[in-house]
Structure 1
Amino acid sequence: MHIDNQGSATTTGRYQIQGVDVLQIADQFGLPLYVYDADKIIEKISLLRTSFRGVNLKIKYAAKALTNLSILKLMRQQGIDVEVVSVNEGRLALLAGFEPTQIMYTPSGNAWSEIQEAIGMGLQLNVDSLPLLEQIGQTYGSQYPIALRINPSIAEGGNFKIQTGHGDSKFGIPNDYRVQIKGLIEQYNIPVVGLHIHTGSDFKDGNTFLKIADVLFDMAADYPNLRFIDFGSGFKVPYHPGDYATDLADLGAKVSSAFRAFCERYGRELELCFEPGKLLVSESGHLLVGVNVVKENPSRTFVQVDSGLNHLIRPMMYDAYHHIRNVSNPTGPERLYTVVGYICETDTFATDRSLPEVRPGDVLSFENAGAYGFSMASTYNSRVRPAEVLVYDGTPYLIRQRETFEDLLRGQVDVPVLNADVIEQTI
């Protein structure tokens, strides 16, 4: 699917989210600021459902992409489940109103004490290693139904850092260990209710998912009491004008057809599950920043903004492209700029990017900032994290307060012995 435009709807000369002027949102809540469009999230959920008509589809939102409680409540309101990777994400999901049975817990090398806590909370456990599988068998035997996370040894898609299904990945139990998996299951009589794979990368069409399906459908023969087959995620979203996205219509048609054929062979209908995170929230998010300085250097012109990798680390961590809009001066003459942050570190959002003329005081919007933006933010350089706003039904709502200096001090302990005056040292 070819994408021509990025971000929310625009009107002549003004950039809007659900009819609300972005500059008004910036004035009301301050900068820097994360803004999320609820309509875009709902649109993506609807698109996914439409693409998989004719199967028993279960959508589980991958909470790590954006864990704000209000976002989780929006997901629950839309009738989807949730997938978490830590106990605290599980607690947030429970606070948002999800039932324990609606929460899939997928640890990756997590402490045994945390896994036991998740089991005590009643979450659906997704086992991703042979040692953990044996520990579950020894401790719980046949008492606790589990899912198995399988590594299919398939390396395709985008940035290698986000590929989780290749043979050298730490994630999942390699399908080469099929005999060992089955042996432990039978030894401890562990109930297996689901098979799961998460590739984690940017796939554009349904063909890669069909390769994954072959692995799971074949392994399903070992487990007669399955309730679901879970394909995780890996959907490609567009980041820049002219970029491509996963063709969900193609994916839905191919995978649904293969799944229906599998269910016939298996003897009954199972749930077909996906765990989208980025697909649901990425395009909904906008990081609004203010321009502090426009700095002319001999080789390039820098735009220095009031944010940095402490708020949006993806460009530095993944070389990720984020489309940038000059919200204040959208019709200005185009110039080349390198947009950088205020962190004492190489901190570049974009190099030699063509933008309408940028002036000190302008507001820029980094698009596709909904997924792994705030959720990966930090207080590096002792800088506070931004506020978050959700635009719902045409009204912007504050869903997280901006941090303060007091928040930076929270948890620090004053040691009285260090309060003495400076000790002079003599030679």
Structure 2
Amino acid sequence: MQLSDYRYQIQGVDVLDIADEFGLPLYVYDANKIIEKIGSLRSAFQGVNLKIKYAAKALTNLSILKLMKMQGIDIEVVSVNEARLALLAGFEPGQIMYTPSGNAWPEIQEALEMGLQLNADSLPLLEQIGQTYGSRYPVALRINPSIAEGGTFKIQTGHENSKFGIPNQYRDQILALVEQYQIPVVGLHIHTGSDFKDSNTFLKIADVLFDMAGDYPNLRFIDFGSGFKVAYREGDYYTNLNDLGARVSAAFRSFCDRYGREVELCFEPGKLLVSESGHLLVGVNVVKENPTRTFVQVNSGLNHLIRPMMYEAYHHILNVSNPAGAEQLYDVVGYICETDTFALDRQLPEVRPGDVLSLENAGAYGFSMASNYNLRERPAEVLVYDGKPHLVRQRETFEDLVRGQVDIFSDELVAVSDDQVV
């Protein structure tokens, strides 16, 4: 077998060439994979009035948002700053669903005045909207269905003890507020978490939404949120979109018949669209032998990809610079001054100092949850589009890290020039 057979490529571009050009650590995204996932979701729901709203929190790079808009999908945001970025990417206010979670009232007001579609998540918020604006702004309602499904407890958002949404047990109170203030309700929404194994959870959601829809005769859409499971390793389960599409579409068509007219069926995928597109390329600093372990210490850590430490998430790891090496057992760890582990007891082709590793499925909640802990810079981001890598975010510098700090002893903003950085 030729060495070229082992080379890891994205749209025909060798990732080692990308690493050489842009440096490490580095986030690399494959635009074709994102477009493929959008197409798969659309194909699964043929025959219904489907609206896809990209959950921007998964990956908020401006070029990614523009790519989403080019594919004809809308967007869901959870903060006004995410909405501002969506507007910068070219989305119209009416294409932006704003779903707060206990956000401050001034931010809610700003979102309404921007023309965003508000998704009200609590009775106090609904009442404040009614008292302040009456029937001026149409809203959607985020309902908590008391369904405890979807991955680990940390990512379940629809159970009865969750902070998210208005409990469906308050159905009468919701309707009373809506009628008291004549608030136009144009949508019903539920998002119960992530990593659903099959379509049954979505059908449970459908039962709640379709039943509650009878209270609101002027709905424009029913929004199922998301929860699609992606595969993180060989043999891992994932949501069967074709099965999901067939079963949910049939239930939705039946609902529309009962409701008396067609409304939009909405989903808000984040992870599904961008997870597999993302690769975190890191360099190996040290291979450290201990009596019981062999550590691969890389030039990244939980400051760049927190999911393994926060959620115990599995990310497949490739040794892209020595793919044909003899396999050995390693712990892959970061350079942060905390327990900072990417992988335990992982079989990898022999790893040497200077090798390049790729952490797979890093597109969702990777860079978007990154931090400057230990005063480390966040990586650059590259999007491979039309067979060419494009820098879509510059690597941070020390000057970026201290910008905004005020030196009280000189009463000045901190400024660092290039010649002061050694």
Q: Give your verdict on TM over 0.5.
A: yes
Q: Which runs of 5+ in 2 are unaligned?
A: 413-422
Query: TM-score with structure 1 length normalisation?
Result: 0.95
SS where residue 60 of structure 2 aligns?
coil
Q: After TM superposition, list the pairs within 5 Å mapping 1:236-251 onto structure 2.
A: 236-251=229-244
Contact 2:145–2:167 (8 Å) recurs in 1: yes
Contact 2:284–2:356 (8 Å) recurs in 1: yes
Q: After TM superposition, list the pairs within 5 Å mapping 1:26-175 onto structure 2.
A: 26-175=19-168
- CA apart distance, 1:418: 8.9
1:246–1:11 distance in 2 versus 1, CA, 3 Å:
farther
Moved more, 154-163 or 57-66: 154-163
1:323 aligned partner: 316
- Choose the corresponding residue for 1:388, options 361, 378, 381: 381
CA RMSD of the aligned region, Å?
A: 1.1
1:106–1:11 distance in 2 versus 1, CA, 3 Å:
farther
- CA apart distance, 1:416: 2.3
Query: TM-score with structure 2 length normalisation?
Result: 0.96
1:180 aligned partner: 173
SS where residue 318 of structure 2 aligns?
strand
> 1-side partners of 2:214 and 2:182: how far apart?
16
Structure 1 residues 313-348: Cα deviation after superposition (integer angstroms, max 9, x where no partner): 000000000000000011110100000000000000
Q: Which runs of 5+ in 1 are unaligned?
A: 1-9, 420-427
Contact 2:55–2:76 (8 Å) recurs in 1: yes
SS where residue 312 of structure 1 aligns?
coil
Identity of matched residues, %: 83
SS where residue 222 of structure 1 aligns?
coil
Verify: 1:195 aligned to 2:195, yes or no.
no
Verify: 1:415 aligned to 2:402, yes or no.
no
SS where residue 155 of structure 1 aligns?
coil
Verify: 1:281 aligned to 2:274, yes or no.
yes
> 1-side partners of 2:410 and 2:404: how far apart?
18
Q: Stretches of 4+ moved more than 2 A in 1? A: 416-419
2:415 aligned partner: none
> 1-side partners of 2:387 and 2:136: how far apart?
48
> 2-side partners of 1:86 and 1:398: how far apart?
26
> 2-side partners of 1:417 and 1:401: how far apart?
30
Q: After TM superposition, list the pairs within 5 Å mapping 1:356-367 onto structure 2.
A: 356-367=349-360
Which amino acid is the alignment partner of residue 45 of structure 2? F
Structure 1 residues 243-288: Cα deviation after superposition (integer angstroms, max 9, x where no partner): 1110000000000000000000000000000000000000000000
Verify: 1:376 aligned to 2:376, yes or no.
no
> 1-side partners of 2:71 and 2:410: how far apart?
55
Which amino acid is the alignment partner of residue 404 of structure 1? T
> 2-side partners of 1:204 and 1:23: how far apart?
35
SS where residue 416 of structure 1 aligns?
coil
> 2-side partners of 1:293 and 1:119: how far apart?
52
